[in-house]
Structure 1
Amino acid sequence: MTDIYLTKTPTGALVPADSDSADYLKKHKVGQGFKAKITRARNVMFLRKFFALLNYGFDTWKPLEAVYHGQIAEKNFKQFREDITILAGYFETFVRMDGSVQLRAKSISFANMDEDEFESLYSAVIDVLLKRIFINQTRGDVENVVNNILAFS
């Protein structure tokens, strides 16, 4: 199976979005039928916005001090991102050898999450951050800060 990228025109037709897609379609006869599973291509700028949101949340988050076996536990961005994703409801469950259940954040890679699901995740993450970190801010306040962060990137 070959992945090609299409763009919707004002008439509703789907046309090749890049030269590789156009080249692939040129190899086939006019009128040739195709079966397609359509997903919206991921928006790289929206992914950057998602990480700007997470970075803003991480920078704002002030965890309680924790000590484990005499070692002070440090906050960690990767763990923060996974925890926020799980709290937003985007996780998989696994049974461990001891019979306990483990939650793992869903992958946000382009191959594992389409644009529609990613937009839903983004919205759910803002809700979690508003409830747990940005307690005195509105969704609009947070969006403005994230957009300003992106403007300086």
Structure 2
Amino acid sequence: MASVHNASLTVEKSFEAYRKWVAMEAVFFRIVVFPNGAVKKEAKSISFAKMDDNEFSELYRASFNVIWNQILHKYFESEADAERAVNNLLGFAS
């Protein structure tokens, strides 16, 4: 049986890479087919200025669910608590 050695990994601190990861996990991507038949998922470009309220809400909810399931559930008691924190950071809280 071959042994597996842990390699030293470096975390990339890139907002764009993180945004693309969230978009892909939130199923906000398109399929690209290359001439050789290879298929790749590519995160969709996001333009909030071109989105209607419904599309923005769908993207926000799907993205929030990804971030909740992967990260935020470790730090907040509930999704509502996390939403309040987001709104406070964005200045939307009353």
Gaps of 5+ in 2: 1-7
Q: How many residues align?
A: 81
CA RMSD of aligned residues (A): 1.9
1:99 to 5, 14, 37: 37
| Pairing of 1:16-95 with structure 2 (within 5 A) | 66=9, 72=10, 74-95=12-33
- Between the aligned residues of both structures, percent identity stands at 36
Greater fraction of residues in helix: 2
Residue deviations 1:80-123, cap 9 Å, x none? 00110111111111013553221122222123x32201101101
After TM superposition, give the deviation of residue 143 of structure 1 in Å: 1.0
Matched, 1:139 2:79: yes
Find runs of 4+ consecutive structure 1 residues off by over 4 angstroms: none
Secondary structure in 2 aligned to 1:135? helix
Relative to structure 1, the CA distance from residue 73 to residue 100 in structure 2 (aligned partners, 3 Å threshold; closer, same or farther) is farther
- Cα distance in 2, alignment partners of residues 133 and 96 from structure 1: 34
Between structure 1 and structure 2, the one with the greater Rg is 1
1:135–1:97 Cα change, 3 Å: farther
Correspondence for 2:89: 149
Structure 1 unaligned blocks of 5 or more:
1-64, 67-71
TM-score (norm 2): 0.72
TM-score (norm 1): 0.47
